[in-house]
Amino acid sequence: MNTIALVGNPNSGKTTLFNALTGSNQHVGNWPGVTVEKKEGQLKFNGNIYNIVDLPGTYSLGAYSEDEVVARDFIIKGNPDVVINVVDATNIERNLYLTTQLMEMGTKVIIALNMMDEAKSKNIDIDIEKLSQNLGIPVIPTIAAKKKGIDSLIQKAVEFINEDIYNYDPISYGENIDKEIHDIRILLKGSSREYPNNWIAIKALEGDKEVLNKLKSNELVNQHLISLADKASEYELEIVDRRYNFIGNIIHSSVNRPTESRETLTDKIDKIVTNKYLGIPIFAIIMFVSFQLTFVIGSDLLGGYVEGWIENLGGWLSGILLTLNTPDWLLSFLIDGVVGGVGAVVVFVPLIAVLYFFLGILEDTGYMARAAYVMDGLMRALGLHGKTFISMIVGFGCNVPGIMSTRTLENKKDRMIALLINPFMSCGARFPIYLVFISAFFADNGGIVLFLIYGLGIIVALVMGKIFSKTLFKGESSHFIMELPPYRLPSFRSVIRDMWDKVWDFLQRAGTIIFIVVTLLWILSIFPLGVEPYSQESLLGKIGTIIAPIFAPAGFGTWQASVSLFAGIAAKEAVVAVLGMVYGGASEGRELISAIQQAFTPLAAISFLVMTLLYTPCAAVLATVKKETNSIGWTVFMAVYPFIIGWVGAVFVYQVGSILGL
């Protein structure tokens, strides 16, 4: 199967193009050996199937981050038949820097000149034929969001696959550097097939550590490069300068821009939402409204449908099992364990879907990038890098990709702090826990309570970041540079796809991890044989009884609450699943809510929510920390210190609340 790789700058529309090419024929995983997300899909064209690989968004093909390494290694070692370079037509100068590096690598490149409609709205006139002629590679205008130009792009890519080997070195780097490139290639004598064309010589002269390490085995080349070591920085700057000169000449002859730049709608909106004084309050208001709408739509309008479905499923299954004279133990497992446990989680899918829908809209419009921008001042005041807030926002969906996204931070200090505070962000897995307790005690103010919970997580994360920056990780933060994409109308298809991906992931966890946890805990709840299931005399009850005194000062020192928190270390969704199981198979939302109202006081409920928000992250997060840090010590630290923070916070809330008579 032929492979087509997509590569481009962030915000160039690469993912939109990937979705347009592959439709639903795609899957997501991780690249082997690293935590960078890997997207692959299939394209059917003229009876043939092509493998489409969406490479991480990157501005260059250096070796400064895992994104860059993954992208360039796949192009060099993965041998894609064609590389489609997605270029933002409104930012063509910046985007073409990556293009020059792709051409230096000698790969077959086609430019998808995307967002042509936005370029037209800004009165940017691009001579496509002249641009293609000057670059020496095909250029296809596209509007991926509207699926315009896609057919022409596919046709050209398929034709290009069967053409002769692409071999083009377009740039002269000056007499001295060109001579060094030639000399290095002569010394290599063909041993650099892994790095075609001038690529390996250019990267060696730029001081690329990965390339230099590979060339150490070649004594002649290594000695030659050692003799040039004192000129590495000079050569690197000269090579970069020559690339930009090359781009500038091309732009000058093929792109016409208006002589006077006019204020765009994006500029006008940004004057308000990124204002020094209004930015953070506006962000808080937007999130508050999102949470309020989540409850109104997800609970009041949609919540009853899934609950009714779970109720009917339980009744239908129970009737069939009783008709078949099913043994009591199997009946208990299926009804109380599976339906009661997993069903207690699944019942909150509408609210989760609505929350992800609103977060998807904020992301698709370009607002979330502004949220990170307006938080930069506060982050720096606390000794944190501005990009830390981006990983925190990602953590709202799931802490695993939130921690993975810290790899974009180049400074080790910034990366470690961002990694350690990310689990305080309320991931989607905690959402069902919040919903159960909010529905039980604070139904009339659900949006407010949810907003306060998320806000508390952010505050604790920032405070701990400040403490870490002053204790464990001293030193200066690196500079914060990020691109603010223009505001765009959200793509309904994209938002729904993203929402469904997250909801489907949630359902898969409910059907696998939570099922396994519930099964193990159900077994513990019925042994030793002869005891009443789900009683304190069962093994589960005895384990919970041993743990319970730890949480007594926090107001929820029952064995049921204790085992549910313990199960939450495996997966946070399991907290609600276990509560639904231990309270007599409370699979229906109202049954579980009623049981919780009897077991908790409102103050104890608040304390439990604080503990849930802050305590030990799930096993998947701990595994990710181990992989990212390659340290058992930091993994143990991540397991222990949030538990202490959560316990102290829960005890503080309950004890102070009790003193105040709440």
pLDDT tens-place string over residues 31-82 = 444 445 668 888 888 888 999 998 888 888 876 666 777 888 888 777 889 9
Chain-centroid distance of CA 488 in Å reads 21
- Collapsing DSSP states into helix, strand and coil, what is residue 238? helix
Q: What is the pLDDT of residues 346-364, one digit of tens each?
A: 766 777 788 788 888 888 8
What the block records as the tokens of 568 is 């939450």
The beta-strand segments (E) located in 26-156 are 26-30, 37-45, 48-54, 82-88, 109-114, 125-126, 139-141
- Residue 30: what pLDDT? 46
**Buried residues in 578-590 as b, exposed as e (16+ CB within 10 A):** bbbbbbebbbbbe
Q: Is the peptide bond before 528 cis (omega within 30 degrees of 0)?
A: yes
Confidence grade of residue 331 (pLDDT, cut at 50, 70, 90): confident
Provide Rg for the chain, Cα atoms: 28
Nearest Cα to Cα of residue 434 among 649, 579, 642: 579
CA distance 476 to 86: 35
Domain 3-161 in CATH 3.50.50.60: no
Parallel/antiparallel/unpaired status of strands 255-256 and 125-126: antiparallel
Q: Do residues 149 and 164 touch, judged by C-beta distance below 8 A?
A: no
Contact in structure between 657 and 603 (CB atoms under 8 Å): yes
Beta carbons within 10 angstroms of residue 49's beta carbon: 11
Cβ atoms within 10 Å of 401's Cβ, excluding its own: 16
Higher pLDDT, 649 or 223: 649
94 alpha-carbon distance from chain centroid: 25
Contact assessment for residue 570 and residue 513, using Cβ atoms and an 8 Å cutoff: yes
Contact 610/426 with Cβ under 8 angstroms?
no
Domain 175-256 has CATH 1.10.287.1770: yes
What type of residue is 84?
A: I
DSSP secondary structure of 536-563:
TTSHHHHHHHHHHHHHGGGT---HHHHH
Dump pLDDT digits (tens) for 293-308. 877 776 655 556 666 6
Q: How confident is the model at residue 201 (pLDDT cuts 50, 70, 90)?
A: confident
Which of 142, 145, 170 is CA-nearest to residue 495?
145
Greater model confidence, 460 or 493: 460
> Scanning the structure block, which residue is given the tokens 């938080």?
375
**Is there a shared CATH topology between the 3-161 domain and the 175-256 domain?**
no
Cα–chain center distance at 86: 21
Residue type at 176 in one-letter notation = N
Helix, strand, coil fractions of the chain, as percent rounded to 5: 65, 5, 25
Q: Mean pLDDT across the stretch 581-600? A: 75
Q: What was the pLDDT predicted at 427?
A: 83
Residue with structure tokens 């997966």?
A: 571
Q: Who contacts 128 (Cβ-Cβ below 8 Å, separation ≥6)?
A: 113, 139, 141
| 489 backbone dihedrals φ, ψ, rounded to 5° | -65, 130
| Terminal-residue alpha carbon distance, the chain | 66
C-beta separation of 154 from 161 below 8 A: no
- On the question of a cis peptide bond just before residue 549, with omega within 30 degrees of 0, the verdict is no
Report the pLDDT value the prediction gives residue 478, as an integer from 0 to 100.
55
For 58, 368, 560, 633, the CA distances from 486, given in Å and listed in that order, are: 18, 12, 50, 43
Amino acid at 235: Y
Contact 563, 615 (CB under 8 A): no
147-156, 242-251, 496-505, 653-662: segment of lowest average pLDDT: 496-505
The pLDDT of residue 33: 44
Q: What pLDDT score does 621 carry? A: 86
Task: Label residue 342 by pLDDT band (50, 70, 90).
Answer: low
Q: Which amino acid is at 242?
A: R
| DSSP string over 259-300 | SSPPPPHHHHHHHHHT-TTTHHHHHHHHHHHHHHHHHIIIII
Predicted TM-score (pTM) of this structure: 0.66
Res 169: pLDDT: 62
Domain edges within the chain:
3-161, 175-256, 263-301+348-499, 512-662
Give, as one character, the DSSP assignment of residue 139: E
- Give residue 562's pLDDT: 92
Long-range contacts of 216-220 (CB under 8 A, 24+ apart): 218/187, 218/188, 218/191, 220/187
Please, what is the average pLDDT of the chain? 81
CB 106, CB 76: distance < 8 Å? no
pLDDT band (50, 70, 90) for residue 193: very low
SS3 202: helix
> Which residues, including other chains, have CB under 8 Å from residue 598's CB and lie 6 or more apart?
none
| DSSP state at residue 341 | I
Q: Percentage of the chain with pLDDT > 70?
A: 86
Q: With bands split at pLDDT 50, 70 and 90, how would you rate the model's confidence at 191?
A: very low
